[in-house]
Amino acid sequence: MGDELVHREAPSPNFNDRALPISMVVLHYTEMLGAEAACARMCDPATEVSAHYLIAEDGEVTRLVAEDKRAWHAGQAYWRGIRDINSASIGIELDHPGHANGYRAFSEPQFEALVPLLARIVSAYDIPRANVVGHSDVAPLRKIDPGELFPWERLASYGLCLPRPAIALGDPYDNDGTFYLALERFGYDITDGHKAVEAFQRRWRPERIDGQIDGQIRAMLFQLLLDRDRGVTR
């Protein structure tokens, strides 16, 4: 499927059968120095990690695991009631040094390769745009990738993920507990409230990530839920 978008195959042994239908895409960065090193790691059975696709900084797309199989990319994670994220998702790794090795903007060739691949996947499985997420969205206690420099708004301009919400109300939640419940309703694991807020900010307001609940993110979350309830998004 979609072979014209794949430049090479590097079959990984790190997969098993799915237990759920595909309803999500999870975007990651590799946090390694080069695509070849990342590919080797995901093809090593000892690591027990993989993804369906790896996109190099130069735009080369490598398929590691067939889409009908469960790649091991998300680990312990949660989104919108789903705890077996690997079974429900396609995992795409972006070749990138990550925060540990000099965090920087994602390359243009990589983004240009991601767009058609993601568009095909979203169309093929009728994936809700709210379910095109970052690793930090589904594992806020452990992960921060792809991070605040990932161009979510640009991706949203192609209709491939939710855009940053326009704020309609100044401060719709009257206390933090109400906000946390709304955050869980949108999809986040709120086991650690501070980390969950950081993950929300990293995705929706990357210019300030402090884990603090304020009027702006309250209004953003309210609008996201309102749009979903009205059927504007899903």
- Among candidates 30, 37, 28, 46, which has minimal Cα distance to 10? 37
Angle at 37 between CA 36 and CA 39, to 5 degrees: 65
Rg (CA), the chain: 17
- Among candidates 73, 89, 62, which has minimal Cα distance to 187? 89
Paired residues of 82 in beta bridges: 79
Question: Percent helix, strand and coil across the chain, each rounded to 5?
Answer: 35, 15, 50
Catalytic residues, by residue number, are 93
What is the Cα–Cα distance from 162 to 21, expressed in whole angstroms?
21
Element (H, E) at 119: helix 108-125
Are 154 and 105 spatial neighbours (Cβ–Cβ below 8 Å)? no
Angle between helices 176-186 and 215-229 (to 10 degrees): 40
3-state secondary structure of 167: coil
- Among candidates 91, 1, 95, which has minimal Cα distance to 50? 91
